[in-house]
Amino acid sequence: MRCTITGRDISISAGGRGPMRRRLIAWTILTCGLLAVAVWTVLGPPNHPTGPHLPSRSVTAAR
């Protein structure tokens, strides 16, 4: 990081690393998303039903 003071102007720069960091973050998010879609496609959705599984609401617990 570099801070330059010229007259009344102050500029702060990250040394050109700002765009590179943004690209890395975007690449990471996109890669994780594509990996999740690929795994979901190959393995399929989970086999368990959605929703909370409370023992007090099951049929065997009501007996």
pLDDT tens column, 28-44: 999 999 999 999 999 98
Compute φ and ψ for 5, nearest 5 degrees. Answer: -115, 120
**Predicted pLDDT of residue 12:** 65
Q: What size, in residues, is the chain?
A: 63
**Predicted pLDDT of residue 21:** 84
Low-confidence ranges of the chain (pLDDT < 50): none
**Predicted pLDDT of residue 18:** 73
SS3 content of the chain, % helix, strand, coil (to 5): 45, 15, 40
